[in-house]
């Protein structure tokens, strides 16, 4: 199978390319840069902001995986940056969809990133794929992102949006920021620590994507481990795996003051169940946070 990955130079994409190639697939990459450090078989440069794409990138493509999006932790959420979060996600889908018109209708499968932020702030309520969308900037962003993909359904063979939880591994994502803090003994519970974190080991996320490409089905899929934890539990488990003690809790008001609206990312609560993955009998390599953290910490240099 030839898989075209947009946004494949990032934290998830880099691991996905290696895994797809190991499974015998051919990988073509779409990037805003002319070159990348990845092992992709083909490299295409595009510019979603300027609407520039080489339509030849769709030649021979069986599947599109779109992971594009300005990183939500790239800085304070100013109005300008919020526009960029939105445009980087929606423009990339629209540009890809336009290029995909050159492919025979009904022959392409499409997997797009979304996030568990779709559910908004839900306290300790369990959410599965049938739960309603939440409120707030992130939830609305995810809803728009997903609607854009769902609208392509008539021209696709199959489509999905992965509602991805906090991705854990070395080399990027949340742990790139948290591990140094915890190592200095400054890792702490955030707010009252009661907010739920739905997380996934990057290896499981990559396996979910690879499995979906083999057995595609329509509609959203929660890409989270079956064992979400509270922020308090998360802090204790990560600290223990790094042989540290949690520092004094950081009060919610101070986090809001420091991060502004971006504090949503760490203070809202999403307790998400991977119901569709369970129906698909997907086997998680890392269902429990303790083992996931230990495995990741073991590979730290
Ligand atoms: N990591 C997580 O914990 C997590 C959780 C939930 C959802 N997600 C979503 O999953 C997707 C992949 O996550 P990731 O951690 O791999 O993200 P990432 O490391 O930030 O990489 C995203 C990729 O998107 C492209 N990109 C970045 N800014 C862009 C912009 N302004 N316009 C167009 N393209 C842009 C970049 O590719 P080029 O520079 O090569 O163009 C980049 O490699 C993202 O959409 C993210 O929002 C991630």
Q: Could you report the per-residue pLDDT of 146-200, keeping only the tens digit for each? A: 999 999 999 999 999 999 999 999 999 999 999 999 999 899 999 999 999 999 9
Tell me, rounded to whole angstroms, the distance of Cα 193 from its chain centroid: 23
Q: How confident is the model at residue 260 (pLDDT cuts 50, 70, 90)?
A: confident
Does 177 map to a domain? Answer: no
Q: Facing residues of 4 across strands?
A: 28, 64
Mutate to test the pocket of ligand 1, among 12, 119, 266 (most ligand atoms within 8 A of CB): 12
Does 29 map to a domain? Answer: yes
Mutate to test the pocket of ligand 1, among 68, 84, 167, 208 (most ligand atoms within 8 A of CB): 68
Cβ count within 10 A of residue 113: 25
Would the pLDDT of 142 be above 90?
yes
Would the pLDDT of 258 be above 90?
no
In short, whether 67's Cβ falls inside 6 Å of ligand 1 is: yes
| Structural domain containing residue 107 | 2-168+199-225
* Nearest-CA residue for atom 43 of ligand 1: 10
- CATH code for the domain in which residue 109 is found: 3.40.50.720
Which pLDDT score is estimated for 272?
98
Radius of gyration of the chain from Cα atoms? Answer: 19
Would the pLDDT of 19 be above 90?
yes
Q: Give the residue among 72, 73, 9 at the shortest CA–CA distance from 45.
A: 9
Does 189 map to a domain? Answer: no
Q: How many residues does the chain have?
A: 301
Q: From ligand 1's centre to the CA of 245, what distance in Å?
A: 32
Average model confidence (pLDDT) for the chain? 95
Would the pLDDT of 217 be above 90?
yes
Which pLDDT score is estimated for 71?
94
Q: How much of the chain exceeds pLDDT 70, in percent?
A: 100
Please give the model's pTM, rounded to 2 decimal places: 0.97
Which pLDDT score is estimated for 52?
97
Does 130 map to a domain? Answer: yes
Q: How many domains does the chain have?
A: 1
Burial of 12 (0-12, 13-18, 19+ CB in 10 A): buried
DSSP-based helix, strand, coil % in the chain, nearest 5: 40, 20, 40
Q: Could you report the per-residue pLDDT of 54-75, keeping only the tens digit for each? A: 999 999 999 999 999 999 988 8
Does 22 map to a domain? Answer: yes
Does 277 map to a domain? Answer: no
Does 149 map to a domain? Answer: yes
* DSSP strand pairing (188-190 vs 221-223): unpaired
Would the pLDDT of 301 be above 80?
no
Q: 102-106, 117-121, 143-147, 291-295: which has the minimum mean pLDDT? A: 102-106
């Amino acid at each position: 199978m030839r898989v075209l990955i947009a946004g494949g130079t990032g934290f998830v994409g880099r691991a996905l390319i290696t895994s797809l190639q190991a499974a015998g697939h051919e990988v073509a990459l779409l990037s805003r840069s002319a070159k990348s450090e990845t092992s992709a078989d083909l490299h295409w440069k595009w510019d979603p902001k300027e609407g520039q794409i080489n339509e030849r990138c769709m030649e021979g493509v069986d599947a599109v995986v779109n992971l594009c999006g300005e990183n939500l932790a790239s800085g304070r959420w100013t109005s300008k940056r919020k526009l960029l979060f939105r445009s980087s996600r929606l423009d990339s889908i629209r540009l890809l969809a336009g290029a995909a018109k050159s492919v025979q209708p009904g022959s392409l499968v499409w997997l797009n990133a979304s996030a568990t932020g779709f559910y908004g702030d839900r306290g300790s309520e369990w959410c599965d794929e049938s739960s309603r969308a939440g409120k707030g900037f992130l939830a609305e962003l995810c809803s728009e992102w997903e609607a854009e993909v769902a609208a392509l359904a008539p021209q696709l063979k199959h489509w999905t949006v992965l509602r991805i939880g906090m991705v854990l591994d070395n080399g990027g994502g949340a742990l790139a920021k948290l591990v140094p803090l915890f190592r200095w003994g400054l890792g702490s519970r955030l707010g009252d620590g009661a907010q739920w974190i739905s997380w996934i080991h990057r290896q499981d996320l990559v396996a979910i994507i690879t499995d979906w490409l083999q057995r595609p089905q329509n509609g959203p899929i929660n890409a989270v481990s079956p064992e979400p934890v509270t922020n308090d539990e998360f802090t204790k488990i990560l600290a223990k795996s790094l042989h540290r003690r949690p520092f004094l809790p950081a009060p919610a008001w101070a986090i809001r003051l420091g991060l502004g609206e971006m504090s949503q990312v760490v203070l809202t609560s999403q307790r998400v169940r991977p119901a569709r993955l369970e129906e698909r009998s997907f086997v998680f390599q890392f269902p429990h946070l303790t083992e996931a953290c230990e495995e990741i910490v073991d590979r730290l240099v």
